[in-house]
C-alpha cells in the first residue's frame, strides 16, 4: 500500500469521526466518543477484513458485523453512508429524528446494513453467537459452497458486565464456534465514570476460561496494520471463538473529552468540535463534510464484494441443479417456511385422549420436522420437560453442528437472544423453558417482536397447575404482561389439536410466537380438530354452541388453555340449572383483535353477558368479558389439581360466577 493510500485511509477515518461529532451535535443527544475512538477499527473491518457488498445488504453469505454496543450507532451509520448502503448525508443530518433512517440505536429491517437491533447491552453479544451457530449448522449441512462466512462483533465494558454475555460466551466456547470474532473495546469508561468504579475482571483469563482464543492488542486502536493482523490471526483460529482486546480512548482526539465519561453520551459543543476538526485537518466551518476522494475510496470498498457475491450465486445455482432436494430445503429456510404441503404432516389427536399440551408440542414437532427442515431448537436444561426434545433430531455439539437439537443449558437469558441470532442466520428456532422463567427471556422476546424475527418461544408449566413447586414456579401475571407487547403473537392452546393449529399459525405467519402450554394432561375436546383450524388462526372461536341457536346463548363462557375443558364441564352444570351457555376458546387475544368485526361478533354476540375463566391474572380481561374468574394472587404449594381447585378453577366457582353475572 502506498503512502498516498495510507494518507487517504487516515483522512477517511477522520471524516467518520467528524460525521459522528456533527450528527450528535445536530441531534443534541447521542454518543460521540465511542464512534470517534473506534473509527479506525470500523475502517479496518469494512475495508480490509469483511466480505460484503453494499449493493446487496442481504446477501446470504456476507460476513456479519454486530454492533453490540448499539449506543455507538453513528459509527455504523457513517460507514454505511460512505460505503454506499443507501444512507444519505441528509439521513445522517436526521440522526435520532422522527422517522429517520438513523434512529438512536440500530434497528434491523429499518436501515440497510444493520444486521440486528441492538441497544440493551449484552443482547447483541448473544445474537452473534446465534448467528455463528446458524452459520456452522448451515455450512455443515449444505456445504462450504453455499455457506462460508464469519460473524464479527464489537462489544464494550457494558456488554461484558451484563450477565447475558457470560452465558452466551460460555456456550460459544463449549461449542467451539470458530467463525466468531469479537472485538472488546476496552476504553476504561462507563457513563458513571472510570470502569474501576465497578469493574476489575480479568477479561483475558475469563474468556480463556470459556475456551476462547484471546489476543490482547494493547494500545493499537490507531494502528490499522496491527488491528488487521490481530483480526486475521483470530480468523485463522477455526476451532474456537476469538476475542480481540483493543485498548481504545473514548473521544479521541478531543483535548477536553478524551478518556472522560463526558465523551460517552453528550454532544461535545460547537467550540470543542471546531478544535477537534482543526486537529484533524478538516474544515472547521463545514458540517457533514465528505471530500470527493474519501467518498470514492469508500464507495469502491463497498463494491469490492460484488465479484464474490456473483461467484457465490453461480456456485449455489450449480449446487441447486445437482441436488434439488437439498435446494428445496435451503430455499425453504431462506424464507422461513416449510416445504410445499408441509401442513399435511401436522398430527390429529382423537377426542377423549388425555395429553399435556407440552407433550402434544413434542408430537407436533416430530411430525413436521422432516418437512420443515430449518426447524432447530431445544430447551434451557428442560428440553424433555418442555416438549422441545424431538425424537430423531441429532444434537448440535462441538464436533458436529449439522444436527437440529440444541441444548442451551441453564442459560435462559442467552437462549432467547441466541434464538434471535439463529433466526437472522436462516433457521427457524424454537426454545423452551417454564413459563415463569419468561421473565429471564423478556428482553430477547421484546427485541424479537421489534425485529419481527421468527422465533417460537415455547413456555410450559403455564399456571398454578405446576403444583408442588409452589408460587415461585407458578406464573400468574405472565400472560397479561406478554399480551401487552406489540408485535408478539401469544397462544395458549386448549388441547393437543389447538397446539397443532398454533404451529400452523406460526409457520405460515411472520414474527415471533409465544406458545403457553400445560404441564398437566388435558382432554382432547370435541370440535377443536375441525373448528380450531380457522378458529385458532382468528384467535378465538365458538367451541360449544348454545343449545338454542335461534335464541342464542344466555351467557358466553370464554377461556384459554386448561380452563376451556373446565368451561365445557361448567356448561353442562349450567344447562342442568336452566342456563344456556356457549363456550368460546380464545387462545390468542392479539389474533382475535386482528380478526374482522363481523367475525368477532359471531363469536361474542353483542349484548350477551360474557364471563372469562383463566388460571392467571384477570388484568385486561375487561376488554372481552363483563366479569372474570381468575387468580389475582400468587399461587400455593400443593398438587396441581388441588391448587387449581383451591384457587377457584372449579366447576362450582364458575357456576357461581355465572349466576352472579346473570343476577340469579
- Does the pLDDT at position 30 exceed 80? yes
- Checking if the pLDDT of 664 tops 90, the result is no
The model's pTM is 0.97
CA dihedral 85, 454, 618, 528 (to 10 degrees): 150
- Count the residues in the chain: 664
Residues of the chain with pLDDT > 90: what percent?
98
Cell output for 526: 370435541
Q: How far apart are CA 71 and CA 74, in angstroms?
A: 8
Interval 519-525 mean pLDDT: 98
CA 456 to chain CA centroid, Å, is 10
Dist. CA 145–CA 153, nearest whole Å: 24
CB 397 within 8 A of CB 175: yes
Does pLDDT of 4 surpass 90?
Answer: no
**60-71 per-position pLDDT tens digit:** 999 999 999 999
Residue with cell 441528509: 90
Task: Determine the straight-line distance between the first and last CA of the chain, rounded to whole angstroms.
Answer: 90
**What radius of gyration, in Å, describes the C-alpha atoms of the chain?**
28
**DSSP, res 425:** T
Please, which residues have CB within 8 angstroms of residue 411's CB and are 6 or more apart in sequence?
167, 168, 170, 171, 380
**Residue 655 predicted with pLDDT over 70:** yes
* pLDDT the model gives residue 5: 78
Looking at residue 624, its pLDDT comes to: 98
pLDDT exceeds cutoff 70 at 1: no
Q: Are strands 581-585 and 541-544 parallel, antiparallel or unpaired?
A: antiparallel
Q: Are strands 189-190 and 193-194 parallel, antiparallel or unpaired?
A: antiparallel
With 90 as the cut, is the pLDDT of residue 367 above it? Answer: yes
Taken in order of first residue, the domains within the chain and their CATH numbers are 3-307 (3.40.50.970), 342-523 (3.40.50.970), 538-662 (3.40.50.920)
Please tell me the distance from the alpha carbon of residue 557 to that of residue 586, in angstroms, as a whole number.
10
Helix (H, G, I), strand (E, B) or coil at 542: strand
Helix axes 203-210, 163-175, angle to 10 degrees: 40
Q: 182: alpha, beta or left, given left = phi > 0 and alpha = psi -120 to 50?
A: beta
- Please compute the mean of the pLDDT values over residues 532-555 and round it to a whole number: 96
* Residue linked to cell 486475521: 232
The DSSP bridge partners found for residue 627 are 611
- Of 417, 411, 477, 500, the C-alpha closest to 451 is 417
Report how far residue 463's alpha carbon sits from residue 435's, in angstroms, rounded to the nearest whole number. Answer: 8
User: Coil, helix or strand for 59?
Assistant: coil
Q: Strands 64-67, 151-156: parallel, antiparallel or unpaired by DSSP?
A: parallel
In Å, the largest CA–CA distance within the chain is 94
pLDDT tens, 557-598?
A: 999 999 999 999 999 999 999 999 999 999 999 999 999 999
What are the angstrom distances between the C-alpha of 68 and each of 118, 248, 424, 503? 6, 16, 15, 32
* Helices and strands: H and E segment counts in the chain: 25, 19
Q: Over the stretch 279-323, which tens digit does the pLDDT of each residue have?
A: 999 999 999 999 999 999 999 999 999 999 999 999 999 999 999
Query: In 3D, which of 492, 531, 478, 487 has the Cα closest to residue 509?
Result: 487
From residue 211, alpha-carbon distances to 133, 165, 233, 630 in Å are: 16, 14, 16, 49
Indicate if 140 belongs to the active site.
Answer: no
CA separation, residue 147 to residues 132, 309, 385 (Å): 11, 12, 34
Q: How confident is the model at residue 2 (pLDDT cuts 50, 70, 90)?
A: low
Phi, psi (degrees; rounded to nearest 5) at 377: 170, -165
Cell for 506? 406460526
| Alpha carbon distance 572, 400 (integer Å) | 55
DSSP letters along 559-625, please? E-TTHHHHHHHHHHHHHHTT--EEEEE-S-HHHHHHS-HHHHHHHS-TTS-EEEE-SS--TTGGGT-
Q: What is the mean pLDDT of the chain?
A: 97
Q: Measure the CA–CA gap between 345 and 365, rounded to whole angstroms.
A: 10
The C-alpha cell at 399 is 464436533
Identify the band that residue 94 occupies on the pLDDT scale cut at 50, 70 and 90.
Answer: very high
Flag whether pLDDT at 3 surpasses 80.
no
Q: How far apart are CA 32 and CA 380, in angstroms?
A: 38
What pLDDT is stored for residue 280 in this prediction?
A: 97
Torsion of CA 409, 411, 417, 418, to 10 degrees: -20
Helical spans, DSSP H, in 336-395: 357-368
Say if CB 27 and CB 100 are below 8 A apart.
no
Alpha helices (H) along 389-493: 412-424, 438-451, 478-483
Dist. CA 502–CA 346, nearest whole Å: 11
Please calculate the CA angle 102-107-113 and round it to the nearest 5 degrees: 80
Average pLDDT over every residue of 224-253:
98
Catalytic residue among 107, 412, 563, 614: 412
Amino acid at each position: 500500500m502506498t503512502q498516498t493510500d495510507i494518507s487517504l485511509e487516515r483522512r477517511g477515518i477522520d471524516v467518520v469521526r467528524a460525521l459522528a461529532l456533527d450528527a450528535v451535535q445536530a441531534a443534541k443527544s447521542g454518543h460521540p466518543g465511542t464512534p470517534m475512538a473506534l473509527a479506525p477499527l470500523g475502517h479496518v473491518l469494512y475495508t480490509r477484513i469483511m466480505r460484503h457488498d453494499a449493493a446487496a445488504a442481504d446477501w446470504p453469505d456476507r460476513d456479519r458485523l454486530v454492533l453490540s454496543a448499539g449506543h455507538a450507532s453513528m459509527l455504523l451509520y457513517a460507514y454505511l453512508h460512505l460505503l454506499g448502503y443507501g444512507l444519505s448525508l441528509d439521513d445522517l443530518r436526521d440522526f435520532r429524528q422522527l422517522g429517520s433512517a438513523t434512529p438512536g440505536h440500530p434497528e434491523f429491517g429499518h436501515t440497510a446494513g444493520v444486521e440486528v437491533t441492538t441497544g440493551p447491552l449484552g443482547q447483541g453479544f448473544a445474537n452473534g453467537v446465534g448467528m455463528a451457530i446458524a452459520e456452522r449448522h448451515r455450512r455443515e449441512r449444505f456445504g462450504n459452497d453455499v455457506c462460508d462466512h464469519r460473524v464479527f462483533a464489537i462489544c464494550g465494558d457494558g456488554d461484558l458486565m451484563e450477565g447475558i454475555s457470560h452465558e452466551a460466551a460460555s456456550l460459544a466456547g463449549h461449542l467451539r464456534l470458530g467463525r466468531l470474532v469479537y472485538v472488546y473495546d476496552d476504553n476504561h469508561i462507563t457513563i458513571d465514570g472510570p470502569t474501576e468504579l465497578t469493574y476489575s475482571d480479568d477479561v483475558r483469563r475469563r474468556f480463556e476460561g470459556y475456551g476462547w482464543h484471546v489476543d490482547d492488542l494493547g494500545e493499537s486502536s490507531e494502528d490499522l496494520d496491527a488491528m488487521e493482523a490481530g483480526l486475521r490471526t483470530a480468523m485463522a483460529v477455526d476451532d474456537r471463538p476469538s476475542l480481540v482486546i483493543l485498548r481504545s480512548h473514548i473521544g479521541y482526539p478531543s483535548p477536553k473529552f478524551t478518556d472522560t465519561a463526558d465523551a460517552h453520551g453528550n454532544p461535545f459543543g460547537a467550540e470543542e468540535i471546531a478544535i477537534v476538526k482543526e486537529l484533524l485537518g478538516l474544515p472547521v466551518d463545514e458540517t457533514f463534510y465528505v471530500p470527493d476522494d474519501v467518498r470514492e475510496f469508500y464507495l469502491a470498498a463497498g463494491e469490492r464484494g460484488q465479484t464474490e457475491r456473483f461467484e457465490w450465486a453461480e456456485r449455489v445455482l450449480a449446487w441447486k441443479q445437482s441436488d434439488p432436494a437439498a435446494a428445496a430445503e435451503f430455499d425453504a429456510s431462506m424464507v422461513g417456511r416449510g416445504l410445499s404441503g408441509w401442513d399435511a404432516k401436522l398430527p390429529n389427536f382423537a377426542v377423549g385422549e388425555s395429553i399435556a399440551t407440552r407433550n402434544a408440542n413434542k408430537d407436533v414437532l416430530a411430525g413436521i420436522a422432516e418437512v420443515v427442515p430449518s426447524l432447530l431448537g431445544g430447551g434451557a436444561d428442560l428440553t424433555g420437560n418442555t416438549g422441545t426434545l424431538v425424537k430423531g433430531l441429532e444434537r448440535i455439539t462441538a464436533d458436529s453442528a449439522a444436527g437440529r437439537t440444541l441444548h442451551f443449558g441453564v442459560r435462559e437469558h442467552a437462549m432467547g437472544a441466541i434464538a434471535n441470532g439463529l433466526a437472522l442466520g436462516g433457521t427457524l428456532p424454537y426454545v423452551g423453558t417454564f413459563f415463569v422463567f419468561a421473565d429471564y427471556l423478556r428482553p430477547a422476546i421484546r427485541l424479537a417482536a421489534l425485529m419481527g424475527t421468527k422465533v417460537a418461544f415455547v413456555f410450559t408449566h403455564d399456571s398454578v397447575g405446576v403444583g408442588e413447586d409452589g408460587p415461585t414456579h407458578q406464573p400468574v401475571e405472565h400472560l397479561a404482561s406478554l399480551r401487552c407487547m406489540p408485535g408478539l403473537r401469544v397462544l395458549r392452546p386448549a388441547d393437543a389439536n389447538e397446539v397443532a393449529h398454533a404451529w400452523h399459525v406460526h409457520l405460515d405467519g411472520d414474527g415471533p410466537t409465544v406458545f403457553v402450554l400445560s404441564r398437566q394432561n388435558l382432554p382432547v375436546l370435541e370440535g377443536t380438530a375441525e373448528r380450531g383450524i380457522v378458529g385458532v388462526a382468528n384467535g378465538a372461536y365458538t367451541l360449544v354452541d348454545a343449545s338454542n341457536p335461534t335464541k342464542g346463548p344466555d351467557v358466553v363462557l370464554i377461556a384459554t388453555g386448561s380452563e376451556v375443558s373446565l368451561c365445557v364441564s361448567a356448561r353442562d352444570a349450567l344447562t342442568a340449572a336452566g342456563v344456556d351457555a356457549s363456550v368460546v376458546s380464545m387462545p390468542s387475544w392479539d389474533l382475535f383483535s386482528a380478526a374482522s368485526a363481523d367475525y368477532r361478533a359471531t363469536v361474542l354476540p353483542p349484548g350477551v353477558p360474557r364471563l372469562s375463566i383463566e388460571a392467571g391474572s384477570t388484568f385486561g380481561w375487561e376488554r372481552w368479558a363483563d366479569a372474570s374468574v381468575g387468580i389475582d394472587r400468587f399461587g400455593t404449594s400443593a398438587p396441581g389439581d388441588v391448587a387449581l381447585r383451591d384457587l377457584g378453577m372449579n366447576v362450582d366457582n364458575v357456576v357461581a360466577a355465572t349466576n352472579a353475572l346473570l343476577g340469579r
